[in-house]
Amino acid sequence: MNTSETSSAPVEGTPRTRVVLVDDHRMFRTGVRAEIGEAVEVVGEADDVASAVAVVTETRPEVVLLDVHLPGGGGVEVLRRCASLIPAVRFLALSVSDAAEDVIGVIRGGARGYVTKSITGDELIRAIGRVGEGDAVFSPRLAGFVLDAFAATDVPPIDEDLDRLTQREREVLRLIARGYAYKEIARRLVISVKTVETHVSAVLRKLQLSNRHELTRWATDRRLV
């Protein structure tokens, strides 16, 4: 990751970076707060798009740790609604997803960086500090996605079919196309098998596809796998 090797401990007398945590899993927010809470000042939390916009607007933190997949439209929707606050408030995506589509989406939306949830507490503290200072921070693999996307001269057109899917449906679609079983997807996304089945049905209906084979081919053709 693109972070310095210096200590993440705050310097005595130095104001701590004011941070808002946005993630729809309360236990994850609790864990992140436990990891970084002494090095930064967590001034608010939110679990969906509406509450995120409200708490960010009210508290005006220096850095928002933003999950990509949220009820109400996802991290991109939070960025869109908070556009008037950028760059006064800087957003650092923190997601389980390492998909190029997700990375590029939030960066185009205005986020200053993107790290995955495999990051350590000390690494995350350093990433928050650098984003707060205006730097861009990415895991090395994810930085490659961004460079490739913005270096491309033939920017891909908007895919209206893909835009009809919610963030969660896109995530399920990608895992189906990668060959995961429903049970594996449920465990990976911390949802029920029934919910996975519901998302798959919605994806097939919206894309007017008939089965998993067609869905996989559709995703592969768009390089979503």
Can you give the three-state secondary structure of the chain, one letter per residue?
Answer: CCCCCCCCCCCCCCCCCEEEEECCCHHHHHHHHHHHCCCCEEEEEECCHHHHHHHHHHHCCCEEEECCCCCCCCHHHHHHHCHHHCCCCEEEEEECCCCHHHHHHHHHHCCCEEEECCCCHHHHHHHHHHHHCCCCEECHHHHHHHHHHHHCCCCCCCCHHHHCCCHHHHHHHHHHHCCCCHHHHHHHHCCCHHHHHHHHHHHHHHHCCCCHHHHHHHHHHCCCC
**Residue 118 φ/ψ, nearest 5 degrees:** -80, -5
State the span(s) of the chain assigned CATH 1.10.10.10.
Answer: 160-222
Q: What is the pLDDT of residue 158?
A: 59
Considering the domain delimited by 160-222, tell me its CATH architecture: Orthogonal Bundle (1.10)
Prediction pTM value: 0.64
Q: What is the pLDDT of residue 52?
A: 96
Which distant-in-sequence residues (6+ apart) come within 8 Å of 22 by Cβ? Answer: 45, 46, 47, 52, 56, 64, 65, 66, 67, 70, 75, 78
Q: In what order do the strands lie in the sheet with 90-95?
A: 41-46, 18-22, 63-66, 90-95, 113-116, 137-138
State the span(s) of the chain assigned CATH 3.40.50.2300.
Answer: 18-151
Considering the domain delimited by 18-151, tell me its CATH architecture: 3-Layer(aba) Sandwich (3.40)
Q: What is the pLDDT of residue 87?
A: 72
Q: What is the pLDDT of residue 151?
A: 65
Low-confidence ranges of the chain (pLDDT < 70): 1-14, 149-159, 223, 225
